Structure 1
Amino acid sequence: MTAPLPGPPVLVLGAGPVGQTAALLLARWGLPVVVLDARPGRDPIGSKAICQQRDVLDVWDSVGVGAEVARRGVTWTTARTFHRDHEVFSFTFADRGRSPFPPFVNISQCETEALLDERIAASPLVDVRWGHRVTALEQDGDGVTVTCETTDGEVRVTGTHAVACPGPRSDALRSMLGLSFPGESFEDHFLICDVRTDLPGWESERRFYFDPGWNPGRQVLIHPCPDSTFRIDWQVPPDFDLAAEESSGGLDRRIRQVVGDRPYEIVWKSVYRFHSRLVDRMRVGRVLVAGDAAHLVSPFGARGLNSGVLDAENAAWKIAFVRHGWAPEELLESYHAERHAAAQENVDVTTATMRFLVPRTEEEARHRLDVLERAATDLAARGQVDSGRLAEPFWYVDSPLTTPDPGRPFPGRPPRGDVPVPAPGVLVPDCPVTVAGRPDVVRLRQLAREGVTVLVGDDAPVPELPASDGLPVSVHRMTDLDGTGLLHEALGARPGEAWVLRPDAHVAAVLTRAADVAPAVARLLARPQEDPRAPHRSQARGGSLHEGLATV
């Protein structure tokens, strides 16, 4: 954790998982935080978002809860897809490195929130204030001031910046920020029940059924959860009435069509109508909008909360670097550039899924049926079956912070269940590394999240980076970190390369000249870049840079 920075706090508007994550990450960078939430306290009812992706667990691990979330949750590695009662295909998830986390963990959002709350309670830098409903927001060149309605009357709270993540029902806040929230709402509804029962063999896989005999013409999704509980989602007609379904015995029949003649208990139930919406801007001055307040997508693919946590990480390190004076205020604009593009990707992917799940025309319905029937024997047809492309980190290939490398072009969206080949903009694969002076074996992503990290190949000169006011930059020879060869294998590192990693563990640059490292670091911090034609200090003095590695 970075030493505490004196001064005004950063405001976090919303104490859900995205706000909790933002607060803990900001505190990790040494910033005081005030969290404001309109609710009187934590809502313990309902499982809500249950499916946490590997790289989100990795973010939570940086604040001390990732391993515990993984331990308490149910892990699964296989996604099975059925048409009616016949399995069409299944796939498992790739890992180009050696992550300690499974591809997905299913756990109640309430339990995740409780674990994050424990870490917040242990942090002297985070002040959570329940019962503070934001009624006005003002900002100027010095900070952000929000007016809150409380049981004790109106109060004003001021901070230098704000992360706004109060959830989907944020129309008032979006209006205060002058944001539009275009998109669409899907007509069909979905019945969701968490059912506690015993289903042997289903504990470690996700099952998706197209048009099963027990929900004809629609879909059913089944996820395993802890404590012998299964999340079951039924697509239902727009006029579905849950109360009538219960009173008529229809809900019991639905559940028994899945679980059979065995005892069960309904832990939670609800009916949802899904939306696909995205704000026009995710940065408004000193306010960064995150999570469901910024984007809504259907849950097929688990891209809601997972994407929101990655919003929080992106926002936190950038606000921290600006507050510490390590980067100019212009760095915050890259939050919009990167996370809006990520949200748009999620909208595109989930909208395509909903079009496949809920055809709008007879022609679309015939196409879907044809694809599903052919998929039983046709590999090409299987690629067209869309039961929800599962959550994945976005690739910042086109970010203004990324230095492109013509020798490592981004090939585009990877195949389902796979991850991109390491390249500029991509989240770096994880693996164990050994750092001199540390008794413990750390992971590459843990190392990267300590600041700006430069990895230098055996044959590459060590770059000299300009001195900066406390900027956390470390330079490491890859061989010194990589006693097993896993690092070179995971990266696909080539001789003579230098890799620049961002504080969120994405690759900022892969370079073959030491002279290009300093400009790449300047670029990832949105600093004015040096004239590449000007000689670097290392060149001007004419000495070799192989005499040692420095931590700047």
Structure 2
Amino acid sequence: MNSQAQVIVVGAGPVGLSAALLLARWGVQVLVLDQRPGREPVGSRSICQQRDVLDIWTAAGAGKVAVEGLAWTTARTYYRDRELFSWSFEHDGLLPACVNISQARTEQLLDEAVAAQPLIEVRWDHQVTGLTQDAAGVTVRCGQRLLRASYVVACAGARSQPLRQALGVSFDGETFDDQFLICDIRADLPGWENERRFYFDPAWNPGRQVLIHPCPGGTFRIDWQIAPDFIPTENDISRKIRQIIGERSYELLWHTTYRFHARIASRMRVGRVLLAGDCAHLVAPFGARGLNSGVPDAENAAWKLAFVLNGWAEEELLETYHIERHAAARENLEVTAATMRFLAPRTVEERMRRRAALEGGRIEEVDSGRFAEPYWYVDSPLTTPEPERPFQGRPPKGAPCVPAPGVILPDVRLPAGRLRDFSRDGFLILVGEMCDSRLFAQVLGKVITAPLAVRGLAEMDGSGTLAEKLDARPDEAWVIRPDSHIAAIIPHAGPELVVDAVSRVLRGSPDA
């Protein structure tokens, strides 16, 4: 069997490459397999990359995505020819809140990062035709070739039904009737370069929607909702573009039509195989919750596999991959399903409600897609609840979530870099000024073999700004997981309580 890999990643798309880079970052040998003969750099496809995904890619060695992407600032929403409302991202001097960049370019930048990583091998023209698991690992069949690894991460995209069937995994859900036409164009559109525009029922697409996104290099992505049976011709496409941009010159770079799906795998972990990205869940793209949930899948899988492979955690930890990321996928399905009910109402009641909201300017009822955000592992078995720090629920659009156990750690500018620069090398224990960081480190070092660092808040930022932004108290200890989520906030903290919180994560459950 020709493989030295500890983990085989199936699929060389953005999620698969992210998983490979993140595993290699932990010192894991990775083999990436893809059935295609090579890279196919066509079309914008998934373009909106959210800040926390940019943060993951930066940690994985692909920070160029954040640099090259276009950081648009304002989202405008229209009903016919009237602007209903607009909102803007808050800029804090850290990573952009969102960038637009074509999936093709994102894949090229990830390919560059993979090529610089000696622990990763990529093999094209390798279609997986079978998987066999045993107590020691997984045998992967590619035609007549057999490959062997301890674990497999399946990131082979939406068309992975044979693989899911082989694992006994269903992929229930629905497909929406309406089609969507996508065009990438290059044009000079002054004033549109940093704005996302969403149109409900414009005169040039009556009864349906149009979404326009700026992209790097003077390019724009336009999405039209079109009738289920409409087959657009070149003349149709030209007419639709002209209705938006007028007589300006433009270049059509790419176009396609597609339908939205809402589906979720019944299991995201089957023994030694973990499913991630579109292989595990499909959602309508409004709110950019596809790739922006697939990359956190990859990170969640990578650190847990690495901890198990390195003997730092129990194998039961892997089951929490399914628990946490399946819950995240279900939330994304709920959010996008509500959006689709507003965009494409199916009942008289839904149509009347939508019309009343749009014509009455009831902004709070208008749903063009809640933008992607990290999932909060509040109910995870890895999270230690704290009554003094309850989860306060989903924040208003564009606002950060109040820190609590399960929530992702806010990012803060520090003298030595960003706070999250310190939070992906293992466990990070942040302690207030009433806690002895050296004592904590000594006690933890005796019982925890996983990578771990104890840092005083005042040590990281003597000005007190960090403690103020986190609302951290002097007697608290914050346990931060290797994926920057808060595992515990412990008041009146002693080293033993921190050991308990870290051990809870490494066991994979509170009672194991």
**TM class, shorter-length:** over 0.9
Question: Structure 1 residues 298, 161: closer, same or farther in 2, change over 3 A?
Answer: same
1:74 is paired with a residue whose SS is coil
Distance 1:363 1:63 in 2: 47
CA distances 1:149-171 after superposition (whole Å, capped 9, x unpaired): 2xxxx101110111100000000
Query: Which digits, 9 at most, give the CA deviation of each residue in 1:301-352, with x for residues without a partner?
Result: 1110111001000000000000010001000011001100000010000011
In the alignment, which residue of structure 2 is the partner of 1:452? 427
**Could you tell me whether the CA contact under 8 Å between 1:13 and 1:163 is conserved in 2?**
yes
Q: Does 1:188 align with 2:178?
A: yes
The change in CA–CA distance for 1:400 and 1:263 in structure 2 (over 3 A counts) is same
Q: Distance in 1 between matches of 2:341 and 2:510?
A: 45
Which letter does structure 2 place at the counterpart of 1:204?
Answer: N
Aligned to 1:262: 248
Q: 1:93 touches 1:418 (CA, 8 Å); kept in 2?
A: no
2:470 matched to 1:491? yes
Confirm whether residue 312 of structure 1 aligns to residue 302 of structure 2: no
CA contact (8 A) 1:353 1:387 kept: yes
Q: 1:107 aligns with which of 91, 101, 105?
A: 101
Q: Which amino acid aligns with 2:116?
A: A
Change beyond 3 A, Cα 1:478–1:80? same
Match of 1:538 in 2: none
Q: 2:355: which partner in 1?
A: 369
Query: How far did residue 129 of structure 1 move?
Result: 0.6
Structure 2 CA distance for aligned equivalents of residues 137 and 165 of structure 1: 14
How far apart, in 2, do the equivalents of 1:31 and 1:120 lie?
13
Give the counterpart letter for 1:485 in structure 2.
Answer: G
**1:70 counterpart (58, 66, 86):** 66
Whether contact under 8 Å (1:499, 1:510) holds in the other structure is yes
- Residue in structure 1 matched with residue 392 of structure 2 by the alignment: 411
Give SS of 1:207's match.
strand
1:530–1:348 Cα change, 3 Å: closer
Correspondence for 1:57:
54
Q: Deviations over 1:9-66 (max 9, x none)?
A: 2110000000000000100000000001100111111111111001100000012222
Q: Which runs of 5+ in 2 are unaligned?
A: none
Instruction: Determine the C-alpha separation between the residues in 2 that align with 1:418 and 1:268.
Output: 35
8 A contact 1:77–1:102 mirrored in 2 = no
Work out the CA distance in 1 between the residues paired with 2:365 and 2:503: 42
**Which residue, 501, 520, 534 being the options, matches 2:501?**
520
Q: Tell me the residue number matched to 2:324.
A: 338
5+ residue gaps, structure 1, are: 1-5, 376-380, 435-440, 532-552
Cα RMSD (Å): 1.6
Measure the CA separation in 2 of the matches of 1:459 and 1:470: 26
Report 1:206-221 matches (<5 A): 206-221=196-211
- What SS class does the counterpart of residue 213 from structure 1 fall into? coil
Residues 527 and 206 of structure 1: CA distance in aligned 2, closer, same or farther (over 3 Å): closer
**TM-score (normalizing by structure 1):** 0.89
Distance apart, 1:94 and its partner CA: 4.6
- What code does the residue aligned with 2:306 have? A
SS across alignment from 2:60: coil
Report the equivalent of 1:354.
340
Q: 2:38 & 2:236 partners in 1: Cα distance? A: 35
Q: Does 2:16 match 1:35? A: no
Distance 1:202 1:61, change over 3 A: same
Q: Which amino acid aligns with 2:468?
A: E
* Partner residue, 2:117: 123
2:243 matches 1:272:
no
Aligned residue for 2:87? 91
The count of aligned residue pairs is 504
Describe the SS at the equivalent of 1:133.
coil
* 1:74–1:106 Cα contact (<8 Å) kept: yes
Give the alignment partner of residue 131 of structure 2, picking from 137, 140, 161.
137
Asked if the contact 2:186–2:218 (Cα under 8 Å) also holds between the matched residues in 1, the reply is: yes
C-alpha distance in 2 between matches for 1:133 and 1:338: 29
Q: Which amino acid aligns with 1:457?
A: G
Change in 2 beyond 3 A, CA 1:261/1:485: farther
The amino acid across from 2:481 in the alignment is R
Provide the rounded CA distance (Å) in 2 between the counterparts of 1:159 and 1:129: 15
Give how far 1:526 is off: 2.1
In the alignment, residue 507 of structure 2 is paired with which amino acid? A
Partner of 1:212, secondary structure, is coil
Please tell me whether the aligned partners of residues 326 and 468 of structure 1 are also in contact (alpha carbons under 8 angstroms): no
Letter in 2 for 1:443: R
Shift of 1:260: 1.3
Deviation of 1:529 (Å): 6.5
**Aligned-residue offset at 1:490:** 2.4
Q: Measure the CA separation in 1 of the matches of 2:171 and 2:478.
A: 38
- SS of the counterpart of 1:128? strand
Does the alignment pair 1:501 with 2:462? no
Conserved in 2, the CA contact under 8 Å of 1:404 and 1:509? yes
Deviation at 1:443, TM superposition (A): 1.9
Instruction: Report whether the alignment pairs 1:387 with 2:381.
Output: no
Per the alignment, do residues 528 and 20 of structure 1 end up closer, same or farther by CA in structure 2, a change over 3 Å counting? closer
- Name the CA distance, whole Å, in 1 between partners of 2:505 and 2:324: 12
- What is the aligned partner in structure 2 of residue 21 from structure 1? 18
